A = this chain, B = another copy of it.
Amino acid sequence: MMTPFSRRTLLLGTALAAGAFGRRAQANSPAVKIQVPGLYRYRLGNFELTALNDGVWQLPIDAAFVPNAPFAKVQQAMVDAFMPATDHLALPFTALLVNTGARLILIDTGTGGQITPAAGLLESNLRAAGTTPDAIDAVVITHFHPDHINGLKTKDDALVFPNAEIFVPEPEWTFWTDDANLRAASEVVKGYFLNVRRIFGHLAKDLHRYRPGAELVPGIVAIFAPGHTPGHHAIALASGNQSMLVLSDTSTHPALFVRHPEWAAAFDLDASAAIKTRKKLLDQVAAERMLVAGYHFPFPACGHIAKTATGYEFYPAQWSPQL
């Protein structure tokens, strides 16, 4: 007969019998109280990839977060995914470092510690990975939201990756540097415009503006994926006989927007274009069983997408002790 147990009986301490230690504890072993570095390596052909966590945003949410679905349904999706709360979303940030063998390329840069106190870890995780910011040869920016670009600069506007060439999407540049667009923006989005000026202002002449479809470096191709922002790009990687798609913010948290691709996200500047792009890319990576990475997917933020009756499902890649 199995021992009866439940939360209730466990917490009341009604177990049947107590064991006993015959010896004193051998060592004073205080709790460590800090997490291990947020990094994980994997291979794609001849590329060595490193997922670099920048932290997490405990984002308060309400009905405005998914304007085209009842908030009760959004909360139920969070319960279904075993999220610990339904009044805020734990939204992780994970950038991707690509070592092509010839170059070190960072795709997006984290928050620079400028958005939430629980993020800004990218640089320390990069160092824990055995490299340094000045070793980065290139930074590829997928779009101009602050959590993707602020890691380019410290709070004091010093360049974090002093030796890196910076690639930015041409249509993203065009949109965010247009004064008429700034004037037409909501207050929140105005902040993003001004942030773009702070981050990129004096760098304008040095930026590489890439066009949809451009191969930035051999095996690294920009895939136009508009909607989240007008110039948002996914990044396709290919090496040897392997390929993957870095989705960036094609979907933010998969428990919400991969499972419910038809949901509009408050962060999507053009929600209907974002939904169209999301469905198209998720359809394709599901059909091709292609490995994906997602900037806001649970760390290490890589895995696969399966099509379901009502949407898609994210399957995290199994952690491997080997490369």
Contacts and interface: CB of A to CB of B under 8 A. Distances in A.
Interface of A: 1-3, 5-7, 10-11, 13, 15-19, 21-23, 25-27, 29, 31-41, 48, 50, 53, 55-56, 80-83, 90, 92, 99, 101-104, 118-119, 121, 128-132, 134-138, 163-165, 167, 208, 210-219, 221-226, 236, 238, 241, 243, 245, 277, 280-281, 284, 288-290, 298-300, 303-304, 306, 315-323
25 contacts: A2-B223, A3-B223, A5-B236, A5-B245, A6-B288, A11-B238, A11-B243, A15-B214, A16-B211, A16-B214, A17-B213, A19-B217, A21-B217, A25-B137, A26-B134, A26-B137, A31-B323, A35-B40, A35-B321, A35-B323, A36-B36, A36-B40, A82-B289, A299-B321, A300-B319
B3 A81 contact: no
A101 B31 contact: yes
Nearest to A90: B318
A51 B120 CA distance: 25
Given A129-B32, A318-B83, A318-B92, A16 B243 contact: no
A212 B17 CA distance: 9
Contact of A18 (B37, B121, B215, B277): B215
Most buried by B among A19, A55, A225: A19
Given A5-B223, A11-B243, A222-B3, A135 B35 contact: no
Nearest to A15: B215
Number of copies of this chain that the complex holds? 2
B319 A38 contact: yes
A149 to B, nearest CB: 19
A170 B49 CA distance: 47
Nearest to A58: B322
Contacts of A226: 2
A34 to B, nearest CB: 7
Given A225-B2, A321-B56, A13 B215 contact: yes
Max chain B C-beta neighbours (<10 A), residue from A35, A38, A164, A165: A35
A270 to B, nearest CB: 14
A95 B316 CA distance: 20
A266 B164 CA distance: 53
A89 B311 CA distance: 28
Given A25-B102, A135-B29, A56 B317 contact: no
A36, A37, A225: which has the most chain B beta carbons within 10 Å?
A: A36
B29 A131 contact: yes
A92 to B, nearest CB: 7
A6 B290 CA distance: 9
